[in-house]
Amino acid sequence: MMSSSNVDDRVALKSFEFADAVAERKVAGGDPAELVLDGGFVMPDANAFGNTFRDYDAESERKKTVEEFYRVNHLNQTYEFVSRMRAEYGRLDKTEMSIWECIELLNEFIDDSDPDLDMPQIEHLLQTAEAIRKDYPDEDWLHLTGLIHDLGKVLLHPSFGELPQWAVVGDTFPVGCAYDECNVHFKYFNENPDYHNPKYNTKYGVYSEGCGLDNVLMSWGHDGYMYLVAKENKATLPSAGLFIIRYHSFYPLHKHGAYMHLMNDEDKENLKWLHVFNKYDLYSKSNVMIDVEKVKPYYMSLIEKYFPSKLRW
């Protein structure tokens, strides 16, 4: 059985192996030591881990696991790999379901078998959405964006190819140009063949100044997948909503301001909303559980407003 210690953004991982860890920065600062897990991570003995999170050994074990996650992520996320994944998942031939069915599916394979720990994934989604709703009552598209931003994590599910965590979660970054040094565990890009390929390892690589992020291939993960699903199914969310979904794990940009030379004016406008959103994604955690049935009608009305009733995934 597996579990994680951080309750806000956790996918569980009954079938995933120890090395498939994932991290997301939780606090400002960018020190890899401050990483916490987006999507949870798996320890050799998760029960013990849950109980010993604060002790030094568990802490250093956690860091090693996170580091190993990024080592594997950085060596595998090549231009070629991303192109292949985009083509493969861009076909949207895996299944058909509604947004709410996807929320339920994601919830289902979260490990809820340990009553001492955590909350279902749906709580993270609803807490993010409800916190935004409280502060930005008129921006209903932003509430919905909060609700659906992590649905791409279904890539971990067997019916979506059961991708390894390094291809689903963790920080994202452009491929096809030089990796910025602010990328977490930058040193591991040395193991990526693109790092040594002159076509891909210059500041602009295959891109040009101000070309717009839409023209930039990002490392493959749940952000990019959910964006594809939303776009191809003709979601009518405003451009900022789609931008948030697509780049919410792009920490080098929204936290460090890297890769600005690839952005166009629309990206810069949208980035303002991503900054707003990111705060809620990270800090909306609360002890007050949201009553799903109570808020569901509101979110169903938003889903109906911005999405078709069935989507291709």
Binding-site ranges for Fe ion (CB under 5 A) = 9, 150, 281
Nearer to Fe ion, 9 or 68 (CB): 9
Nearer to Fe ion, 9 or 171 (CB): 9
Rounded Cα distance, 21 and 69, in Å: 5
User: Quick one: tokens of 59?
Assistant: 């802490």
Euclidean distance between the first and the last CA atom of the chain, given in angstroms as a whole number: 29
Ligand-binding site membership of 124 (annotated):
yes
Nearer to Fe ion, 171 or 281 (CB): 281
Ligand-binding site membership of 54 (annotated):
yes
Minimum distance from residue 38 beta carbon to Fe ion (Å): 6
Nearer to Fe ion, 65 or 284 (CB): 284
Residue 15 has a CB neighbour count (10 Å cut-off) of 12
Q: What is the DSSP letter of 31?
A: -
Ligand-binding site membership of 210 (annotated):
no
Give the phi and the psi of residue 36 in degrees, each rounded to 5: -125, 180
Ligand-binding site membership of 135 (annotated):
no
Largest pairwise CA distance in the chain? 55
Minimum distance from residue 153 beta carbon to Fe ion (Å): 7
Handedness of CA 61, 63, 66, 67 (dihedral sign): negative
Nearer to Fe ion, 123 or 150 (CB): 150
Q: Where are the alpha helices (DSSP H) in the chain?
A: 46-52, 56-76, 79-90, 99-108, 121-135, 140-148, 222-232, 239-247, 251-254, 265-283, 292-306
CB 74 within 8 A of CB 32: no
Ligand-binding site membership of 219 (annotated):
no
Minimum distance from residue 224 beta carbon to Fe ion (Å): 11
Minimum distance from residue 167 beta carbon to Fe ion (Å): 14
Ligand-binding site membership of 312 (annotated):
no
Minimum distance from residue 216 beta carbon to Fe ion (Å): 19
Question: Which residue ranges make up the annotated binding site for substrate?
Answer: 54, 111-113, 153, 170-171, 248-249
Question: Which residue ranges make up the annotated binding site for Fe cation?
Answer: 124, 149-150, 222, 248, 281
Question: Which residue ranges make up the annotated binding site?
Answer: 54, 111-113, 124, 149-150, 153, 170-171, 222, 248-249, 281
